[in-house]
Amino acid sequence: MKILPLLLLGGGAYFLTKKKPKASSSTTISNDSKIGSKDIGYEIINCNTVKIYNEQKAFQYAFQIGSQQGLLQNANVEPFLVGDCFEQLEAGTKEDAIKFAKKFFSNKVTVRFIFNLFRFAKSGYALTSGNTEDSKTDLQSLKNNLKELGIDTTDLQTELVVEMPKL
């Protein structure tokens, strides 16, 4: 059983991104990468630090990524939003996943921000692809997976956004 199968939101775009060398067989998740920038509103450093500079810019970026993927008919937005941070969990145990989730989602602000990145991306995808139901299902699955890992998901909304956020 895969720990976070729907968190990956598909694997197709992964092959389009640069592969990182796999960590050794130890259970420690290590990644020396940086995803994002001040220009797009956020950064994820080493898969354990999330810096939010401008939520509106970040959500606009996510919406645009989702829209581009919708035009390509490829639902995988995860590599563009969080790099390979979640991919590393697939081979681990549930205990590894919980340990990573507690570290990555260190507070409610981070949980809400990362979830909303996916929400805006899936909204952009649904708008351009017309595949609303799959986008809603993906968001609900992400929310369920977070809850299963012990993350409080009570204030996470799974409704899609109907238009791109304005700056």
Question: Tens place of pLDDT for every residue, the chain, 167 residues?
Answer: 443 333 333 333 333 333 333 333 333 344 457 888 999 999 998 888 899 999 999 999 999 999 999 888 888 898 899 988 877 666 578 888 888 888 888 889 999 999 999 999 999 999 999 889 999 999 999 999 889 888 889 899 999 997 766 65
Domain that holds residue 92: 33-148
CA angle, 90 then 96 then 99, to 5°: 125
3-class DSSP state for residue 37? Answer: strand
Radius of gyration (Cα) for the chain, nearest Å?
A: 15
In a domain, 75, yes or no: yes
- The pLDDT value given to residue 136: 93
- The pLDDT value given to residue 5: 36
In a domain, 159, yes or no: no
In a domain, 55, yes or no: yes
In a domain, 49, yes or no: yes
In a domain, 38, yes or no: yes
In a domain, 71, yes or no: yes
In a domain, 156, yes or no: no
d(C-alpha 88, C-alpha 79), whole Å:
12
Sheet strands (E) in 17-57? 34-37, 42-45, 49-52
d(C-alpha 104, C-alpha 98), whole Å:
10
pTM of this prediction exceeds 0.85: no
Q: How far lies 111's CA from each of 26, 105, 143, in Å? A: 26, 5, 10
8 Å CB contact between 72 and 125: no
d(C-alpha 20, C-alpha 14), whole Å:
11
- The pLDDT value given to residue 27: 33
In a domain, 81, yes or no: yes
Count of domains forming the chain: 1
